[in-house]
Each structure stands twice: as C-alpha cells, then as structure tokens.
Amino acid sequence: MDQTLVEKIIARASGRSQVRPGDIVTCNVDLAMMHDSGGPRRVKPILEKLGAKVWDPEKIVVITDHYVPAVDAESAAILDLTRKWVDEQNIPNFYDMQGICHVVLPEGGHLRPGLFAVGGDSHSTTGGAFGCFMFGIGATDMAGVLVTGATWIKVPETIRIDWSGDLPRGVCAKDIMLALCARLGMGGGDYQAIQYTGSLIASLDMQERMTLCNMAAELGAQTGIIAADDVTKSYLLRTSGHNAIDASDWQPDPNAHYRETHSFDAAELVPQVAAPHSPANSAPVTGHTGTHIDQAYIGACTGAKLSDLRMAADVMKGRSVASGLRLLVAPASRRDMADAMADGTLETLVNAGAILMPSGCGACAGFGAGVLADDEVCIASTARNFQGRMGSINSRVYLGSPYTVAATAVAGHICDPREFLDRGSE
C-alpha cells in the first residue's frame, strides 16, 4: 500500500512497516522541544511527583523566548527556574535568550527529514518545513514523553494543498496562509496533516516554508509538512553540517491516498489582511485600505525572520514611519538579527524610524514591551489576532505580511504594499 509522507514517518517511529489513517500507535520520540512558558515550570512538578528524570537529555531542547528579557520579578523567576531545571537534568541543548523556539530550533541543526518530534507549543508545526512530523502537545503529555521517550498518536489523514505559479511582487507566504484561513476556515485542517506541494512550494526558501507550516496550526491541522528537497538539504548543510541527507528518503509514494486536494494558482493571489479577531477574517488588502493604525508590529515566528525583515526593508528604504504611528521590530532570532545587521536590513528599518525590540515572543503573546492599550489598533505580522492576545481586550489587531505592515507604517493607515514597491524608494 502506497503511503503518504506522514504515514511513512509514523510507521518508522512506531516500528511498523505500514500504518493507516485511524490507527492508534505508540511512537518513539526523536526530539522534544520546550520553551520557558509551557516547559520546565509545568513539567517539573509532575516529574517530581513521579520521582522521575528525563529519559534522554540529548533528545530534549529547551529554549527561552516568552519571558525574555524579564520585565518583572515573576518573569525573572520563571527564567531562573528554567535555567536551574536544565542544569539539574543535564540537558545540553539549551538556548537562552537566542530567539523564538520555532526559529532557533532549526538554526541549531536539530531538525531533519523523517524525524518524529513534539513541541510544547501549538506552532511546533513549523518543524514540518524540514520534512519531519512535528506537532504541539500540552504539559501533561510532554511530561509523559520526558519520562518514557514515547507518545501515542492516532494516525491522521493527509490533506494536500498544491500551489502552482509564481507569487506576484509584494505577496509572500503569509498572504498564502491568510488566504487559506479565509478559504478553508480555522477548522479546515480538522486536526489532520497538511502537506504543501506544487511548483511554487519548490521555489520557496526555507523561511517562507516555515511560515506555511507554522500557520497550519491556524487551519486547525495537527501539523504541516513539506517533503525534503535540495532547498532543504542546502539549509541543513549550512546550519548544521548535515551532508548525508538523501531527499529521496522521505517522500510520499506516487499513489498515496489523500483525504482531499486543494489546488491554487499563486499568480492570482494579492496581499491579504485579516480583520479582528481571527485569521479567518482575511480578505484582499483593498478591503481595508485607509483604516487608522496606532502601532505596526513586525515580530513573531511567523513574521520576523530574516526574509521577513528584508521584505519590510524593501518597502521602507528611503521612507519614514508616519507621524503618530509607532513601528516595533522584534527579529525572530539573534542570528537573524545579526544577519540583518550585516546586510544593512536593520539599518534601513531603524533609519526609517522603527524601534528595535529584543528577539523573543514579546507582544505577539502579550508579554513584555509593545502590548496595546484600550481601543488601540495594530497591524502585525504575527499568526494570530485573537481578542486581547496582544494587550487590552478592547484593542484591535489586523494581520498582514511584512510587506503590508511596513507599507502601513509608512502610510499611517492600512495600505497596499504594491503602491510602494512599484514606485521604488523615495
């Protein structure tokens, strides 16, 4: 029986030759990732009650990103607990204040095709961009993984989303996902696996692929995944030295069964904006042009990677942030920040009036600096705009691509980024 890529990975992890959708199997976990918010402070009490230690410190990655840098005593205490627990458990793979977990994890060379991995965060689906099966679990399930090195899973069906054509100028992976949220709904993934395929996907760099898999969570999928190819191999070689990866090892079989297939032409896509309070409230940017904005935020695992920062700089070069509007930029990782400094991207943004923030989850998750007051309106490159997520329950958040957020920051109101990209710098 031909199998999907997801079925192949689960079969390997469960010690079976084949699995079928609906099977309930126990899988050995290749990697478990936690961050400071849902990690040690949640699992430590459980492990202590059990009198247990972690099954394999080498297979655990801990990353601080939600409470960094500490802005109050409570945040500092959470970080202190995290650091001490890592030392107690002798975990070597600890990234402290290096950036957002979903970006730092692949930067550290921890992901590769065929892995069965779990993460203590819903956007752990980002790992699927590297051809592995990775999904988010809660603290109780994570405690079980830490003790046993295994977890159970109901084998999901796979929904194929195929994109052909080329993205128009000013349109990117974030627009793809906002359009999909509107088209399929936030339950469209039905807690199944989504595999992205097609000529467009093959042309995207790894960071754009990460955005697609990251926001599979917004579609309600268990995970998103993209089969490994030469782009994957090149990234892994550059970041981790993995040079023995054969992209043909982890591919779906030609006649694999998919629950459904959705096909789209990227050439027809235009910049998207999601109105409060759901990513599913997405529509072409032209439906929102002129909307007043108090704050523009380029941040989060979805919208502040190096490629995202460069998009924003393309719009803002030679321009300035509009009077009365603040633009906050929080690079997704320190590595991305360093690269953006080296190539002049950050200089462009700062010269335009952007306020540079620490790398971390920050205002995206309602932590630290940059949260919103009552009745303030923000446009953000984040994945979610749920009511109250970025501050006051009475604030309103629109979602857009880095292109669109940057254009809005210049115009002072929601604006189509193509207007600036077509004109060039001023």
Q: What is the CATH number of the domain that holds 336?
A: 3.30.499.10
Q: Structural domain of residue 335, as residue ranges?
A: 273-423
C-alpha span between 238 and 339 (Å, rounded): 14
Asked whether residue 207 falls in the same domain as residue 126, the answer is yes
Residue 249 belongs to a domain: no
Q: Both 166 and 310 in a single domain?
A: no
Per-residue pLDDT tens over the stretch 280-315 = 999 999 999 999 999 999 999 999 999 999 999 999
333 and 185 in a common domain: no
Q: Give yes or no for a cis peptide into 69 (omega within 30° of 0).
A: yes
213 pLDDT more than 60: yes
Q: Which token pair is 336?
A: 């991305």
Q: Are residues 75 and 186 in the same domain?
A: yes
CA atoms within 13 A on the CB side of 261: 8
Residues 195, 287 within the same domain: no
* Residue 113 domain-assigned (yes or no): yes
pLDDT at 133: 98
Query: Which amino acid belongs to residue 302?
Result: T
**One domain, residues 78 and 206:** yes
Of 231, 265, 299, the residue at which a domain comes to its end is 265
Banded pLDDT at 243 (limits 50, 70, 90):
low
Residue 10 and residue 97 in one domain: yes
Flag whether 403 is in a domain: yes
- Look at residue 53 and tell me whether its pLDDT is greater than 90: yes
| 328 and 234 in a common domain | no
The total number of residues written for the chain in this structure: 426
* pLDDT above 80 for 203: yes
Q: Does 369 or 172 have the greater pLDDT score?
A: 172
Read off the tokens for 346: 């950050």
SS (H, E, C) the chain: CCCCHHHHHHHHHHCCCCCCCCCEEEEECCEEEEECCCCHHHHHHHHHHHCCCCCCHHHEEEEECCCCCCCCHHHHHHHHHHHHHHHHCCCCEEEECCECHHHHHHHCCCCCCCCEEEECCHHHHHHHHHCCEEEECCHHHHHHHHHHCEEEEECCCEEEEEEECCCCCCCCHHHHHHHHHHHHCCCCCCCCEEEEECHHHHHCCHHHHHHHHHCCHHHCCCEEECCCCHHHHHHHHHHHCCCCCCHHHCCCCCCCCCCEEEEEEHHHCCCEEECCCCCCCEEEHHHCCCCECCEEEECHHHHCCHHHHHHHHHHHCCCCCCCCCEEEECCCEHHHHHHHHHCCHHHHHHHCCCEECCCCCHHHHCCCCCCECCCCEEEECCCCCCCCCCECCCCEEEECCHHHHHHHHHHCECCCCHHHHHHCCC
Of 217, 233, 265, the domain-final residue: 265
Res 244 pLDDT > 70: no
pLDDT at 240 over 80: no
pLDDT in tens, 307-366: 999 999 999 999 999 999 999 999 999 999 999 999 999 999 999 999 999 999 999 999
Domain count, the chain: 2
* Whole-number Å distance between alpha carbons of 56 and 404: 44
How many whole angstroms separate alpha carbon 304 and alpha carbon 102? 12
Do 214 and 313 fall within a single domain? Answer: no
Tell me the one-letter amino acid at 290: G
Letter for the amino acid at 406?
A: A
Last residue of a domain, one of 206, 232, 265: 265
pLDDT tens-digit series, residues 66-96: 999 999 999 999 999 999 999 999 999 999 9
Res 110 pLDDT > 90: yes
Closest CA to 345 of 402, 404, 280, 276: 402
Whether the predicted pLDDT of 241 surpasses 80: no
The answer to whether residues 226 and 135 belong to one domain is yes
Beta-carbon contacts of residue 50 (< 8 Å; ≥ 6 apart): 143, 147
| Residue 372 domain-assigned (yes or no) | yes
Same domain, 261 and 277: no
- Compute the distance between CA of residue 32 and CA of residue 60 in angstroms, rounded to an integer: 5
Residue 426, pLDDT > 70, answer: no
Residue that the structure tokens 């199998």 belong to? 3
216 and 237, same domain (yes or no): yes
Q: How many C-beta neighbours within 10 Å does residue 123 have?
A: 24
How does the average pLDDT of the chain come out, rounded?
A: 96
Q: Determine, yes or no, domain membership for 326.
A: yes
Q: In this predicted structure, what is the pLDDT of residue 425?
A: 59
* Average pLDDT estimate for 20-32: 98
The arithmetic mean of pLDDT across residues 397-424, rounded, is 94
Give the integer Cα–Cα distance in Å for 182 and 272.
Answer: 10
Residue 252 domain flag: no
Exposure string over 296-331, b if 16+ CB within 10 A, otherwise e: bbbbbbbbbbbbbbbbbbbbbbebebbeebbbbbbb
Does residue 248 form part of some domain? Answer: no
Residue 390 CA to residue 382 CA, distance in Å, equals: 10
0.85 surpassed by pTM: yes
Q: Is residue 38 part of a domain?
A: yes
- Give the model's pLDDT for residue 1: 86
